[in-house]
Amino acid sequence: MVSTSAVIASLQRDYVEALRRSDVKAIVLTGAKGRFSGGFDINAFDKKPKSEKPVSLSIDFLTDIVEDAQKPSVAAIDGIALGGGLELAMVCHARVSTSSAQLGLPELQLSIIPGLGGTQRLPRLVGLPKALGMLLMSKPLKRVEAHRFGLVDAVVSADELIRTAYSWVLEIVEDKRPWFRSLHRTDRLPALEETKKILNFARVQAQKQSASLQHPLVCIDVIEEGIISGPRAGLMKETLCGKMPEMSQISKSLRHGFFAQRATSKIPNISNLGLTPRRIHKVAIVGGGLMGSGIATALISNNFLVILKEVDEQFLDAGISRVKANLRSFIKKGQMTKEDYESKLSLLSGVLDYEQFRDTDVVIEAVIEDVSLKQKIFSDLEKHCHSNCIFATNTSTIDLQLIGQKTSCQDRIIGAHFFSPAHVMPLLEIIRTHRTSSQVIVDLLTVAKRIRKTPIVVGNCTGFAVNRMFFPFTQVACLLVDCGLDVYHIDHVITKFGMPMGPFRLADLVGFGVAVASRKQYLQSYPERYYNSMLIQIMLEENRTGESSRKGFYLYDDMRKATPDPEIKKYVEKSRSMASIAQDPKLPKLTEDDIVEMMFFPVVNEACRLLDEGVAMKASDLDVASMMGRGFPSYRSHSFPLFCVSRIIFLPYH
C-alpha cells in the first residue's frame, strides 16, 4: 500500500508540473476504480511526521498551490469522496459527480479534526447548518442532495463523468463558467448574529450527544474562527487543533476500533481457505418473539426471503406485528421509505409448520432458552430441511453441542447470537463448535455482512464471549451492594464512565427471570469465580421482574422512564443479611475510579481467560464485542488501557 505521504508528495509534484507546463490549460482530478478517495490513510496518524517543521498540506499545498493557481481545476467524483478526499475535491474550482457518489467528512467519528480545509470550505459550499450536520454526525451527502446543497455542480452518469469535467474546466478557462474559490465564498454563510446562534445550538447538541468528548466542540470553534477572523485564520486554527495531544489519545482508541471492527471477519484457517460463500436466499426463523421478530426484520430489510414459524396463529400474528412495528421505526428514523416498507414486508411470510422449510438455506432458531425444546426443534429441522441447510441458534448461553445432541448434522450447527434489539444492535456473535464446518462459518459471515452486522467468531462455552466476559460485571455490582455501596451510586458512576446504562438498570431491562436463569448456567460452569448474591432472587420472589413489571431496581412509567425506588432498601438489607460479608467501613470512601476499576478489572480477567482458552481468537475481537455488544465507550480504551484487551494484562482477580 502506497503511504499517504508518498501519495501527497506525488500529487503535489504532478500538480506543480501541470501548472508549469504551457501546454496544460486546466486540470481535472479524479480517482481510480470507481472511487475518488476514502480519505487519509488512518494509519498515517500513528506515524511521526518526518519533518519537525509543521508542513501544512492544507495551506502550503492545497490553498496556495491548487486553489490559488492560475489554472482552474475540476474534481470528477465517482464513488466515495470522504475525509481528505472530499477536502481535496472542495479545493477544486468545481465538482462533477456520478449518482453513486457519497461525499462526507467522517473524521470526527475518529476524533480527527478535518485537516485539509474541510472545516472552512464545507460551510461555504453547503451552508453552515448542513455542514455542521455532516461534520458532527459524520453523515455523507449523496447525489441529489449533494447537488441541491451545492457540494457538487453537476451529477452525470459514470460514462459522462470525465468528459463533463473536461468541458466544465475548459468553459471556466473561457470564462463561460464561474471560477469559484470555495475558501473565499460568503454567499452561503449566515450573518454574524445568526452564525453565533447556529454554532451555540450545535455546541449544545454536541454536548448532549457525547458530553465527554471535546473534539466536536473544537471543530465548531475552528469553524467559528474562520467565519469571524477569516478563512485563512480558520485554516491555521484547524492545523493547530489537529495536533492536540489529548484528542490524539482518544483518536488512537477510535482508530483502533475502526480497524478492529474490520479485522473480525479475518479468521485464521477459515476466511483464508478460499471457500466461496454459498448463495443464501431464503431464511426461516423459528420463534417470533422479541428476538425472532428482530432477526426477521434485519433479514427482510436486507432483501432476504424470510419465513417466520410460530406455534399458533396468535403468536404468529404477534410476531409479524412486531416486525411491522420495527419497520415503521426505520421509517420514523428516516432509514426506510414508505415504499420500501411494503416491498420489504412482502418478503416475509408466516407459517405454523415446517412444510415451507424444504428449500430454506438457513434456519435460525430463536425460541426461549429451554434445552429440550431446542433439541426437539433441531431434530425436526433435520427431518424437514435439505441436507445443506444451515441450522443456527440464537441462544445466548446454552452449549451448542447440547442443542444439537439429537441430530446427526453437528457440522451444520452454528450459533448466531444477536443482541437485542436484533434489528438495531450491530454485533453478531457467531459461535462454532469443533464440528462446525468452515463452509458454514463462511456462509454465515456472508449473511452477517449482508445484514450489516459486525461478526465475531468465537468458540463454544457457557456465555460464549460477550456475555461470559461481562458476567462478572453484574456479579461485582451485587457484591459492592452487599458490602455497603448504594445501587444508584454504582449505576451513576458506570453511566458517567460512558456505558449506556449501569448494571442495575441493565438488569431491569434484561429482566430478572433471564438474569437468574443465566446465573444458574454460570454457577454450574464457573463455580470458583461466582458470587452468589441473593439480591435479584429476593426481588424476583416478590414479583419484581424489572422493566416488564414496571418494578425492578427502578420504577417505570408508561414512557419507560426509570425512577429510583426507595422500596428496594428492604431488599438490599435482606440481601446483605444473607451475604456472609462484613460491611466494609472503607467502602463509602471508594472513588469513582475505584468503582470503575472494581467493575471492569474482572471483565478484563474474563476476557483474558477467553483468549487463553482459545474461545476468542484475537483480543481486538473482544474490544469490538465490548463496544458493539455492550456499548463500552469506544473512545475509552486509552484512559482505561487495561480494558483494551489487546494489551493483555492478567490482574489479581477481585
Catalytic residues: 87, 107
The verdict on whether omega for the bond into residue 178 sits within 30 degrees of 0, i.e. cis, is no
Residue 121 vs 519, nearer CB to ligand LNIPZVSO: 121
Residue nearest to ligand LNIPZVSO (CB): 83
Cα separation, 602 vs 583, whole angstroms: 21
**Which residue type is seen at 471?**
F
Q: How far is CA 113 from the centre of its chain?
A: 20
Q: How far is the CB of 88 from ligand LNIPZVSO (least distance, A)?
A: 9
Q: What is residue 516's DSSP assignment?
A: H
Interface positions with ligand LNIPZVSO (CB under 6 A): 4-5, 8, 38-45, 47, 49, 57, 80, 82-84, 87, 106-107, 110, 112, 114-116, 118, 242, 259, 262
CB-based contact 104:82 (threshold 8 Å)? yes
Cα separation, 51 vs 422, whole angstroms: 49
Residue 86 to residues 1, 6, 36: CA-CA distances in angstroms?
Answer: 21, 19, 8
Cα separation, 226 vs 60, whole angstroms: 17
Q: C-alpha angle with apex 626: 572 to 547, nearest 5 degrees?
A: 40
CB-based contact 139:104 (threshold 8 Å)? yes
Residue 115 vs 127, nearer CB to ligand LNIPZVSO: 115
CB-based contact 441:473 (threshold 8 Å)? no
| Other beta carbons within 10 Å of 552 | 27
Residue 91 vs 515, nearer CB to ligand LNIPZVSO: 91
Q: How far is the CB of 44 from ligand LNIPZVSO (least distance, A)?
A: 4
Cα separation, 26 vs 513, whole angstroms: 70
Residue 60 vs 542, nearer CB to ligand LNIPZVSO: 60
Q: How far is the CB of 258 from ligand LNIPZVSO (least distance, A)?
A: 7
Q: How far is the CB of 220 from ligand LNIPZVSO (least distance, A)?
A: 16
Q: How far is the CB of 425 from ligand LNIPZVSO (least distance, A)?
A: 19
Which of 490, 401, 449, 469 is CA-nearest to residue 632?
Answer: 469
Cα separation, 132 vs 141, whole angstroms: 12
Cα separation, 331 vs 315, whole angstroms: 25
Residue 582 grid coordinates:
462484613
Q: How far is the CB of 449 from ligand LNIPZVSO (least distance, A)?
A: 9
Q: C-alpha angle with apex 183: 179 to 184, nearest 5 degrees?
A: 70
Residue 283 grid coordinates:
431464511
Residue 31 vs 114, nearer CB to ligand LNIPZVSO: 114
Q: How far is the CB of 259 from ligand LNIPZVSO (least distance, A)?
A: 6
Q: How far is the CB of 508 from ligand LNIPZVSO (least distance, A)?
A: 36
Cα separation, 143 vs 603, whole angstroms: 45
Q: How far is the CB of 42 from ligand LNIPZVSO (least distance, A)?
A: 4
Residue 538 to residues 481, 534, 554, 573: CA-CA distances in angstroms?
Answer: 14, 6, 15, 11
Q: How far is the CB of 441 from ligand LNIPZVSO (least distance, A)?
A: 18
Residue 109 vs 639, nearer CB to ligand LNIPZVSO: 109
Angle, in degrees to the nearest 10, between helices 128-136 and 215-229: 160
Residue 38 vs 513, nearer CB to ligand LNIPZVSO: 38
Residue 8 vs 172, nearer CB to ligand LNIPZVSO: 8
Residue 407 vs 446, nearer CB to ligand LNIPZVSO: 446
Of the CA atoms within 13 Å of residue 454, those in its CB half-sphere come to 21
Q: How far is CA 396 from the centre of its chain?
A: 20
Q: Which residue has the cell 432476504?
A: 304
Residue 39 vs 72, nearer CB to ligand LNIPZVSO: 39
Torsion angle defined by CA atoms of residues 605, 609, 615 and 617, in that order, rounded to the nearest 10 degrees: 80
Radius of gyration of the chain (CA): 28
Q: C-alpha angle with apex 636: 80 to 105, nearest 5 degrees?
A: 20
